[in-house]
A = this chain, B = another copy of it.
């Protein structure tokens, strides 16, 4: 009997609906090639239909509905014309990340063959690092409020919350990752010179963790200079670990330096496997280009490869990534506009699926 994985599929909104089918096409090709099965169940949890009907982004029993799957394959959620972003995101993606304790958001940044970096003189191999983002706490918080409303004294407080548990577990994950890589380098993002309570704490825990990994060369950069160095010296980085907000920023900026946000994958991982992990591209629902069939499906497909790896199918995962890289390098005829081509979402997805099957 072949292995069978049960996957919850949430295409979501906008280009999420366009790229997820291409992701599935490629995943099925990989499953066939490697002799396992993916049993996919689709859910319409999105702004456009589900929210419009129920006034909620997820059903009240979402934990039971989704909790039994081996993984969640997620497109993108958000349709600001209908639902404000903070409502739709807190009601779905951010809720899933927290509710399923996916405390690591792993985002590889790699300049692939066939992709042109906006940076001068950068070739494939020059940019190849991992952003490890804390994914459940920190700056992303809905705690706080207003006082003296509608007066000149109106004041707003917004709480950042860090816990020892939350900080240590993501740091440990990042150090383990760095220790297993050839360069064994780790940089933690901070801003302890300006943000005076939480960031010195983050530094303190990182410094303590670094002592437990003497084999890892660890240092820190303030977030301002770190973003500058992504542009000026991207080859400097190996594993970069960051708080929720800083990781969010670095994992958009990094892929931009490596050519396009359209190809960047991410894995929202629950390393303890108490709940399913969630795999989604870094890009969002992109209302500005939705419906035109030109969205780049590579971020979604690559996220699928990360899912296969997590499920225990590393050979299949590698096959998918290799197929992506080969098509980007050799098939200029199918590249989407963000890659400088004139191809379509479906054309690029189909080409990669064919390469996987070949």
Contact = CB atoms under 8 A, between A and B. Distances in A.
Interface of A: 78, 84-86, 89-90, 94, 116-120, 139-146, 151-165, 191-201, 223-225, 227-229, 231-232, 244-245, 248-249, 251-253, 255-257, 260-261
Contact of A224 (B120, B145, B223, B248): B248
Give the interface SS of chain A, mostly helix, strand, loop or mixed.
mixed
Nearest to A163: B155
A142 B192 CA distance: 11
A90 B193 CA distance: 8
B161 A193 contact: no
The 10 closest A-B pairs by CB, nearest first: A158-B198, A228-B256, A154-B164, A144-B197, A85-B193, A224-B252, A142-B196, A158-B160, A227-B253, A158-B197
A161 B199 CA distance: 16
State the number of copies, please.
2
A197 B160 CA distance: 11
Given A224-B252, A231-B231, A232-B256, A244 B152 contact: no
A191 B244 CA distance: 12
B152 A162 contact: no
B193 A86 contact: yes
B261 A141 contact: no
Contacts of A256: 227-229, 231-232
A143 B158 CA distance: 11
Given A120-B119, A156-B163, A231-B256, A94 B194 contact: yes
Contact of A154 (B118, B152, B163): B163
A161 B152 contact: no
B249 A223 contact: yes
Contacts of A117: 120
A43 to B, nearest CB: 21
A161 B165 contact: no
Contacts of A196: 86, 90, 140-142, 144, 158
